[in-house]
Amino acid sequence: MNIVLLGAPGAGKGTQASKIKEKYNVLHISTGDIFRANIKGGTPIGKVAKSYIDAGKLVSDEVTCDIVKDRLSQDDVKAGYMLDGFPRNLFQAGELDKFATIDWCVNIDVDFALLQDRICGRRVCACGESYHVSTLNGETKCAKCGGELYQRADDNPETVKARLDTYQNQTAPLIEYYQKQGKLVNIESGTKSPDEVFELICKELDKRVK
């Protein structure tokens, strides 16, 4: 099963990806994580990506599509994968359809009013887990691997506003794109907890996966 995970910044893509990958045994490929690893490693891609990410804008389609195409050409994706954060505009979606076959697009639909607090209160671990300060009770280590938690450089109020604008203008049209292809699985997340959202996702995916 090959899935695209769609949703605004802070919608819970990373949170759900970590649950989905365990249950459905699919690989989690996050373009945001790939860029952050490149920034940390000081690579040429990281140097280019940093200015866009810090501004809440999209990294160029050429660079991003090349990264995903290359990643999907590797053998380990054959059992199935989940793309988190790609595609992010109509051009990327069209390119993806040239080099991959997507079965379902899971769209996590969240009220915009919740996102600023979720993003600015997020703490992440290098292993990929996300937490929120409101449920950490002062804990500074990852419950999964014991790693030190930290705040992402783009998780500040100014950048968040730009990221939400970018989402509205460029990424939201993908909902209709996948709906027209009959692949949209819409999840009304509302104020549900991560476990409740995961239950909804499983219910919908289980209907579709034979």
The site for ligand AP5 (CB under 6 A) is made up of 7, 9-15, 31-32, 35, 52-53, 56-59, 64, 85-86, 88, 92, 118-119, 121-122, 130-132, 163, 189, 192-194, 197
- Under rule CB under 5 A, how many of the chain's residues touch Mg ion? 2
Q: Residue 141 is encoded by which pair of tokens?
A: 């280590």
Q: Does 14 bind Mg ion (CB under 5 A)?
A: yes
Q: Report the distance separating Cα 208 and Cα 96, nearest Å.
A: 22
Q: Would you say the C-alpha torsion 126, 127, 132, 137 has a positive or negative sign?
A: negative
Pick between residue 191 and residue 210 the one whose CB is nearest to ligand AP5: 191
User: What beta strand segments (E) does the chain contain?
Assistant: 2-7, 27-30, 81-84, 104-109, 122-124, 130-132, 184-188
**Min CB(196)–Mg ion separation in Å:** 19
The listed partner (ligand AP5, Mg ion, none) that binds 21, CB under 5 to 8 Å by sort, is none
- Cite the active site residues: 13, 88, 122, 152, 163
Q: Would you say the C-alpha torsion 148, 164, 110, 184 has a positive or negative sign?
A: negative
Pick between residue 59 and residue 82 the one whose CB is nearest to ligand AP5: 59
Q: What's the residue count for the chain?
A: 210
Interface residues toward Mg ion, by CB under 5 A = 13-14
